[in-house]
Amino acid sequence: MKRAKRMDVFQSSIFTELKNMKLDYTQRTGNETIDFSVGSPNIAPEPSIMKVLQESIMVPENYKYAINELPEMKSAIHDWYKNRYNVELTYDEMICLQGSQEALSTLFLAMCDPGDIVLVPDPYYPIFSDGPKIAGAKVEYMPLLQENNYVIQLDQIDEEIAKKAKMMIVSYPNNPTCAIAPDSFYEELIQFAKKYDIVVLHDNAYSELVFDGKVGKSFLSFEGAKEIGIELNSFSKTYGMAGARLGVCVGNKEVIDCYNTLKSNMDYGIFLPIQYAGIEALRHGGASIHSTCQAYQDRRDALCEAFDEVGWHINKSPATMFAWARIPDQYEDSYAFTKDLMEKTGVVVTPGQAFGVHGTRYVRLALVQDIEDIQKAAERIKKSEIFK
């Protein structure tokens, strides 16, 4: 039995590998791990959101195929984008997703032919690279370097590659580097995309997790953005609905229409109770956004302070629910460090090279542990003397 050749470019997820390593560690040592690897929020949605979901699940009529978004859903998306970002959207400029990961994995099937070039940042969230490959597209990487504050240097993209590129993925606040981009970058990006006729896909999953009093923005709020691109937004981090799988794709009408045609042949819409919960989140769930952001900022501060005291200096993330940390020089790469850290401390992090070659000297830590467990992790690291 032969599998498809396209599968040759894929390996098991790093998170599956880490899960197996954790299980092996626990079975051998009898010790529990403290897991900073997977960015799965442990802050629950507002009670009103869960109540609407609970009540909607008990309505028999809600178990039919959804097919399309509820009109109330589109209305809520329109109002949220208008009130939050001052972006005016028409109903044919939006589509709901089963989590933003859906678009990141299948949109390229609608927009790219085999061999088309997609520009992807490196380090990258894994599906940024895998999604184009599923469609048979060729990926060209754009380095995100610390000396440039992890902002893409558009003027350093090879012009011949830019001329051939079909799409470009951009994401700020960025996972995994936690960087944010200045307004000037988006202005340059729009001009760059127009010059080379490139469709921009901006992943904006972390716009509500920006720290130290700053406010996240939408790519679409910049003049000309809708002419060349789309934006993904997610209910996972903003409203704690990660397992409910709900996101939106908004922006350029032509791209939305093309993707909508593909989706209409692939699924039957978003489960209606989840749509109702999403409407409640957009209409009345805003009270928790500030407290959620503050909780992640407090964890960031606690992690940086506690780990600094044991010799691991980590720069404070300006945004997202992660920390991006450099590994000690004595380790060959981030895989070696991750394995040694788990073996000696039971602390689990994600090796940066799982996000691309430019992550080789880094690891990512998800701020999904309470402050008490963050301090326990620091104490274990101290006892291990890894940073002595």
pLDDT tens column, 63-99: 999 999 999 999 999 999 999 999 999 999 999 999 9
Neighbours of 194 (CB within 10 A): 13
Q: Taking residues 221-225, what's their average pLDDT? A: 98
CATH 3.30.470.20 fits 47-285, yes or no: no
248-294 pLDDT per residue, tens: 999 999 999 999 999 999 999 999 999 999 999 999 988 889 999 99
CB 314 within 8 A of CB 325: yes
Which residue would you say has higher pLDDT here, 2 or 295?
A: 295
SS3 327: coil
CA 185/CA 260 separation, integer angstroms: 29
333-361 pLDDT per residue, tens: 999 999 999 999 999 999 999 999 999 99
Q: How confident is the model at residue 234 (pLDDT cuts 50, 70, 90)?
A: very high
Average pLDDT along the chain: 96
CB 226 within 8 A of CB 93: yes
Report the percent of the chain where pLDDT is more than 90. 93
Is the pLDDT at 7 greater than 90, yes or no?
no
CA 141/CA 143 separation, integer angstroms: 6
Is the pLDDT at 116 greater than 90, yes or no?
yes
Least confident residue range of 3-7, 133-137, 140-144, 232-236 = 3-7
Entry pTM: 0.95
What's the pLDDT score for residue 11? 80
CA 344/CA 283 separation, integer angstroms: 47
Fold of 5-44+287-384: Aspartate Aminotransferase, domain 1 (3.90.1150)
Q: What contacts 349, CB < 8 A, 6 or more positions away? A: 36, 37, 325, 338, 341, 363, 364, 365
What's the pLDDT score for residue 287? 83
CA 38/CA 367 separation, integer angstroms: 9
Q: Taking residues 117-131, what's their average pLDDT? A: 97
Nearest to 47 by CA among 322, 305, 284, 364: 284
Q: Give backbone dihedrals phi and psi of 143, rounded to 5 degrees, phi first.
A: -65, 135
What's the pLDDT score for residue 273? 98
For residue 263, give Cα distances in angstroms to 67, 128, 201, 289: 10, 19, 17, 30
Q: What contacts 157, CB < 8 A, 6 or more positions away? A: 119, 142, 192
Report the percent of the chain where pLDDT is more than 70. 100
Q: Taking residues 291-306, what's their average pLDDT? A: 97
Is the pLDDT at 191 greater than 90, yes or no?
yes
Where do the domains of the chain lie?
5-44+287-384, 47-285
SS3 358: helix
Q: What contacts 7, CB < 8 A, 6 or more positions away? A: none
What's the pLDDT score for residue 288? 86
Q: What contacts 307, CB < 8 A, 6 or more positions away? A: 313, 314, 325, 378, 381
Distance, C-alpha 46 to centroid of its chain: 21
What's the pLDDT score for residue 6? 84
What's the pLDDT score for residue 12? 81
What's the pLDDT score for residue 13? 85
What's the pLDDT score for residue 361? 98
Kind and range of the H or E run holding 120: strand 117-122
Dihedral of the alpha carbons of 277, 54, 320, 285, in degrees to the nearest 10: 50
What's the pLDDT score for residue 113? 97
CA 249/CA 106 separation, integer angstroms: 12
Is the pLDDT at 8 greater than 90, yes or no?
no
141-165 pLDDT per residue, tens: 999 999 999 999 999 999 999 999 9
Conformation bin of residue 127: beta by default, left when phi > 0, alpha when psi is -120 to 50: alpha
11-60 pLDDT per residue, tens: 888 889 999 999 999 999 999 999 999 888 888 999 999 999 999 999 99
CB 334 within 8 A of CB 352: yes
Buried b (16+ CB within 10 A) or exposed e, 235-258: bbbbbbbbebbbbbbbbbeebbee
